[in-house]
Amino acid sequence: MVAIALIGAGGVIGRAIRTRLESEGHRVRALGRDVCDLTEPASCAALNLGGAQALVHAGGITEESARTDKAWAHAATGWQKVLERAAAAGIGRVVYVSSAHVYGTMEGTIDEATPPDPRSDYALLHYASEQILRRSGIPGTVLRPSNVYGMPGDLTRFGRWALTPYGFPQEAVAQGRIVLKSSGLQMRNFVAAAGVADAASQAVARLQRTLDVANVAGNDTLSMRDFAARVADAAKRTLGADIALDIPAATPGTPLPLPLRFVSRDGAKAGDLDAFLCDMLRALAASKES
């Protein structure tokens, strides 16, 4: 049994990690914004992590927060203060949930040996968080999942609708159609939040002397147009709704994306993408009616 401090316990990934770790008998202390607000580094400077043996950070930068004025404080300055407190408390391992987007274009074969090439603010800030952890000298694991899916705890407070696993079902229920901004030939790997939690549990259990990187892959890799069709099919089966798909034709002469093969050294994590889509569509439909 390990005493673990957890940042981001209220998010989809954080909730899954907390559930998994507590089911294994670990003692988990959730670090809410009341005790450590990463966007306000001064609030983290006096953080008491005494008694914790490990730290898991599942509250990193999001696509939405990457565009705010406090993004750098969240990803870098505040995180550095937390790591300083972790070092002072003698914490011996850290797990940071990053993103596969640090690799850049999601095409071809991507494994842990693929060089990072962060191209968006979101990816660049995650990579900064990784490097600040590396510089701290505290051993542990950086997890790089691809597109994560899992039911939010409260739809009314959920704010991650820009993410494909959530945005497509929301469009289907709200508008009766899914509109793609491109031809939808680009591919993405989809991994369940429970799979990320499994990877976090494995990382906490590993005793190591350095910082390593582990991809977290799911067993579903789909093009955006195929994912849209899968959402439409789930809506038909679950809600009896016919969802229109608005998919632009590929521009003549545009090179086709390379097929994606997102590889994890630990193998792909099991997950039920169809069950998630059905649950998500039902929840959205119920919310719309209320």
User: CB under 8 Å to 157, separation ≥6 — which residues?
Assistant: none
More confident residue, 166 or 156: 166
Rounded to whole angstroms, the Cα distance separating 47 from 49 reads 6
* Of 189, 31, 20, the residue nearest 100 (C-alpha): 189
Res 282 pLDDT > 90? yes
Res 227 pLDDT > 80? yes
Res 115 pLDDT > 80? yes
pLDDT in tens, 130-150: 999 999 999 999 999 999 999
The distance of Cα 229 from the centroid of its chain, to the nearest Å, equals 23
* Mean of the per-residue pLDDT values of the chain: 94
Res 290 pLDDT > 80? no
Tokens linked to 255? 């090179």
Res 231 pLDDT > 90? yes
pTM to 2 decimal places:
0.95
User: CB under 8 Å to 112, separation ≥6 — which residues?
Assistant: 213, 214, 215, 263, 264, 265
pLDDT in tens, 174-225: 999 999 988 999 999 999 999 999 999 999 998 788 999 999 999 999 999 9
- Position 76 scores a pLDDT of 96
How many C-alpha atoms does 135 have within 13 Å on its Cβ side?
A: 12
- Position 190 scores a pLDDT of 98
- Position 60 scores a pLDDT of 93
Mean of the pLDDT values across residues 258-275?
95
Q: What percent of the chain has pLDDT over 90?
A: 85
* Of 65, 67, 1, the residue nearest 33 (C-alpha): 65
pLDDT in tens, 87-107: 999 999 999 999 999 999 999
Neighbours of 288 (CB within 10 A): 10
Q: Does the CA dihedral 141-146-152-155 come out positive or negative? A: positive
- Position 289 scores a pLDDT of 79
- Position 46 scores a pLDDT of 86
- Position 277 scores a pLDDT of 98
pLDDT in tens, 24-54: 999 999 998 888 899 999 988 889 999 999 9
The answer to which of 135-144, 218-227, 254-263, 267-276 has the lowest mean pLDDT is 254-263
- Distances from the Cα of 88 to the Cα of 175, 239, 261, 279, 288, angstroms: 52, 54, 41, 44, 49
Rounded to whole angstroms, the Cα distance separating 109 from 91 reads 35
165-174 burial, b if ≥16 CB within 10 A, otherwise e? Answer: bbebbbbbbe
